Structure 1
Amino acid sequence: MSRGTRGGGRRGGGRRGGKAELPRKTCAHCGRPFTWRKKWERVWDTVRYCSERCRRARRDKGIVGI
């Protein structure tokens, strides 16, 4: 049997769906789509930027509180 065909182990074993089924949003700064991350689990409704860099760039332009 070749590697990766049994379904056990770390990669893809018992998971269903995968990244395709995670919620998505569009970054308010760069416009790129980004997906839900575990660290955003409790604050997903308030997440607006795909990265810290985009969040800082938006703030530095003087647009605060939008």
Structure 2
Amino acid sequence: MPAELPSKTCEVCGLPFNWRKKWQKNWDEVKYCSERCRRNKNVRTSN
């Protein structure tokens, strides 16, 4: 079983998401859980 992966909260939808290998080089800059949230970064939902 792999070690506990770091996680963040998406700035758009507010849901938590875990580290992925494709974000290995720029994890500090990742703010969104998906392309959909990245495209909708100016349309934040109110939870």
Q: Note whether the superposition's TM-score is higher than 0.5.
A: yes
Higher relative CO (CA 8 A, sep ≥ 6), structure 1 or 2? 2
Q: Which consecutive unaligned segments of at least 5 residues does structure 2 have? A: none
Task: Find out whether 1:23 has 2:6 as its counterpart.
Answer: yes
Q: Looking at CA atoms only, which structure, 1 or 2, has the larger radius of gyration? A: 1
In structure 2, distance between residues paired with 1:39 and 1:58: 20
Corresponding residue for residue 21 of structure 2: 38
Match 1:57 to one of 26, 36, 40: 40
| Two-structure CA RMSD over aligned residues (Å) | 1.4
Q: Which consecutive unaligned segments of at least 5 residues does structure 1 have? A: 1-15, 62-66
Aligned length: 43
Identity of aligned residues (%): 63
In structure 2, distance between residues paired with 1:58 and 1:42: 22
Normalising to structure 1: TM-score of the pair? 0.60
In structure 1, distance between residues paired with 2:32 and 2:18: 11
